[in-house]
Structure 1
């Protein structure tokens, strides 16, 4: 998860008006691309300004997601090919993030840990939103796919990425309770839904 802090100075301040217009035109060209590589980001406003968090959509159009007051944080599930910019809510001046005018999320690391020596596999997954009602189903789907693909000697542990779901502890307990998982997989309707999830090839 990236912890992103908008800088305390604006990139547009001190620019010639033509340069500011040019920057805006460049940002309009920059746009989001389709991707399956998710990234969970936490934006933190460390400035004394009120900051607009803006996503550049698939057409390069600015979409304001959130306005952060000083000290406020905002979590978002995004993709590595989705650019974000930040501006002063009052002056509309563009702010720098990590010394850059456009922020691209990073690839999440250590989402899967495998130990051939200890015969263990641990997978973390990130639900779409903190109150995602499909989190248990997603976790069960991942667990079933691993059980089908791995040799029986492996112990599988599927967990929600820490801090990404309101009920992560309860769901983690369900997903790693062998008896509850076995009972769930004996439910024909639920198994049919899980198999549909595993066989889906829809675009993200």
Structure 2
């Protein structure tokens, strides 16, 4: 019997939106997956040929690119940051909508004009995307790499601006920050390891199943 196909799913907000989609594809994780006390990272599903692993959102792309998992669900922000050639992203899943934005303190924004920037110091976990974005405008970007608590950077003088994901904008507002520029609209994608796509017969039918689940109308009451 062939080894199970492994689907890497992200911890956090996207996972809550991904689970109903997985169910529509016919994939339901074992009960331990929903146990908040479980420290397991790999889970069986109702299908003997499919397992799930639950990892950090930024690590989903790495697991799939290197073939440790054959599929993954990951935000387009992560794909832009890493740009792995080994990844194929055939389906926009239509979940995890947000935006990647530049933000700064409201007091600075009141007198600031992004069109006049020539050099910026920015705290972000997206240094590649950030530098590329500003380079296209001829602006030098000095990036301070952080993995979280981005909103503290301007408050504590680490960097006057941040680049981060924004959904409702509530976190920015509560920390005295405002958006001044949107770099990209973000949604979650189904990603596939390119080698697995070519060599494992079960991969293409599963891609098609995800595509149908996205295109089909949501069940009543969903």
Tell me, yes or no, whether TM beats 0.5: no
Q: Which structure ranks higher in relative contact order (CA pairs < 8 Å, sequence separation ≥ 6)?
A: 2
TM-score using structure 2 length:
0.24
Normalized per residue, the structure richer in helix is 2
Larger radius of gyration: 1
